[in-house]
């Protein structure tokens, strides 16, 4: 029995990705962190109060918030989870402020904002100064949501949407851009082929937890679960727990 335990421990050291392959990792997607004021889709808003309650829940239940630059840490930390925001709305500064408020020696909150590069600085969108400030803080990772937010399965100018957006964001923040959020969550084999030229990861809106299976292109088909205006704290807890 003792020898069997030693063998299992040895295998886990040599082949950690296989031993923990069934680990399920939540990748959550938000849009606006603000009160809904009647414009846009209500379900794409999460109030500041609810967002803070959700992040406190993660803090108090031992979750570790990661960004895609820290992907290798998913098998090293306790309860890994990814918090992402699509579109780059100005009100994502509210999420940043809440992260700052909750940060302590034990809880180091981080998130990923996927910005539409040609929309930077528009009314209701984050400015270049905002993005640089958040990137420099280490609290927010700024990644790409393409240049103009097209359905990538219906275009031909991939270089502009994928490379130019990456280059512009990198120039703005001074940080590497390694992850893409597909607009509308849409992708196909051609889109993945083009995306792989510039990015190491890409996220969809397939509503499930990520579990590494070793299948082709799985890091370009990362699923995400929406957190909505109507999501209760009880529902959020179940999502975070993989239920």
In a domain, 188, yes or no: yes
First to last CA, the chain: 33
Residue 243: what pLDDT?
Answer: 78
Residue 153: what pLDDT?
Answer: 98
Is the pLDDT at 102 greater than 60? The verdict is yes
Are the beta carbons of 115 and 126 closer than 8 angstroms?
A: yes
Residue 216: what pLDDT?
Answer: 94
Q: Alpha carbon of 33 to those of 5, 72, 121: distances in Å? A: 48, 28, 18
Secondary structure letter of residue 67 according to DSSP: -
In a domain, 56, yes or no: yes
pLDDT in tens, 31-41: 999 999 999 99
Residue 156: what pLDDT?
Answer: 93
Q: How far apart are CA 116 and CA 96, in angstroms?
A: 18
Identify the band that residue 95 occupies on the pLDDT scale cut at 50, 70 and 90: very high
Residue 70: what pLDDT?
Answer: 97
Are the beta carbons of 94 and 34 closer than 8 angstroms?
A: yes
Count other C-beta atoms under 10 Å from residue 124's C-beta: 14
Say how many CA atoms lie within 13 Å of 133 toward its Cβ: 10
Is the pLDDT at 5 greater than 80? The verdict is no
In a domain, 79, yes or no: yes
Listed in sequence order, the residues at least 6 apart from 199 whose beta carbon sits closer than 8 Å to its beta carbon are 144, 162, 166, 177, 178, 179, 180, 220
Residue 134: what pLDDT?
Answer: 98
CATH of the domain at 201: 3.20.20.370
Averaged confidence pLDDT in the chain:
92
Element (H, E) at 66: strand 64-66
Residue 242: what pLDDT?
Answer: 85
Average pLDDT on 136-150 reads: 98
Is the pLDDT at 1 greater than 80? The verdict is no
In a domain, 27, yes or no: yes
Identify the band that residue 9 occupies on the pLDDT scale cut at 50, 70 and 90: very low
Residue 60: what pLDDT?
Answer: 97
In a domain, 12, yes or no: no
Average pLDDT on 132-151 reads: 98
pLDDT in tens, 65-92: 999 999 999 999 999 999 999 999 999 9
Least confident of 65-69, 138-142, 211-215, 233-237: 211-215
In a domain, 28, yes or no: yes
Residue 122: what pLDDT?
Answer: 97
Residue reference for tokens 């904002």 = 113
Is the pLDDT at 10 greater than 90? The verdict is no
In a domain, 158, yes or no: yes
203-240 residues labelled b (16+ CB within 10 A) or e (exposed): bbbeeebbebeeeeeebbbbbbbbbbbebeeeebeebb
Q: Three-state SS for 205?
A: coil
Average pLDDT on 219-230 reads: 98
Residue 23: what pLDDT?
Answer: 86
Q: What angle do CA 116, 119, 123 make, to 5 degrees?
A: 135
Q: Alpha carbon of 15 to those of 72, 74, 115: distances in Å? A: 14, 15, 36
Q: Three-state SS for 24?
A: coil
Is the pLDDT at 119 greater than 60? The verdict is yes
State the residue range of the domain holding 189.
23-240
In a domain, 8, yes or no: no
Q: How far apart are CA 4 and CA 19, in angstroms?
A: 15
Is the pLDDT at 14 greater than 50? The verdict is no
**Number of domains into which the chain is organized:** 1
What is the reported pTM?
Answer: 0.91
């Amino acid at each position: 029995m003792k020898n069997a335990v030693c063998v299992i421990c040895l295998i886990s050291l040599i082949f950690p990705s296989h031993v923990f392959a069934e680990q399920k990792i939540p990748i959550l997607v938000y849009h606006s962190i603000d009160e809904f004021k009647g414009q846009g889709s209500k379900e794409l808003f999460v109030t500041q109060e609810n967002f803070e309650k959700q992040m406190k829940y993660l803090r108090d239940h031992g979750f570790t918030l990661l960004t895609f630059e820290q992907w290798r840490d998913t098998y090293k930390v306790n309860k890994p989870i990814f918090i992402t925001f699509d579109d780059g709305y100005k009100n994502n500064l509210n999420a940043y402020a809440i992260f700052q408020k909750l940060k302590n020696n034990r809880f180091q909150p981080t998130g990923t904002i996927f910005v539409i590069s040609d929309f930077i600085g528009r009314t209701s969108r984050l400015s270049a100064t905002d993005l640089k400030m958040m990137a420099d803080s280490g609290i927010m990772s700024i990644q790409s949501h393409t240049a103009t937010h097209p359905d990538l399965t219906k275009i031909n100018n991939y270089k502009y949407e994928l490379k130019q957006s990456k280059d512009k964001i990198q120039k703005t923040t001074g940080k590497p851009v390694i992850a893409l959020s597909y607009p509308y969550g849409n992708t196909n084999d051609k889109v993945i082929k083009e995306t792989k030229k510039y990015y190491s990861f890409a996220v969809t809106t397939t509503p499930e937890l990520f579990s590494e299976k070793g299948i082709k292109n799985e890091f370009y088909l990362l699923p995400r679960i929406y957190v909505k205006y109507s999501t209760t704290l009880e529902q959020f807890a179940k999502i975070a727990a993989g239920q």
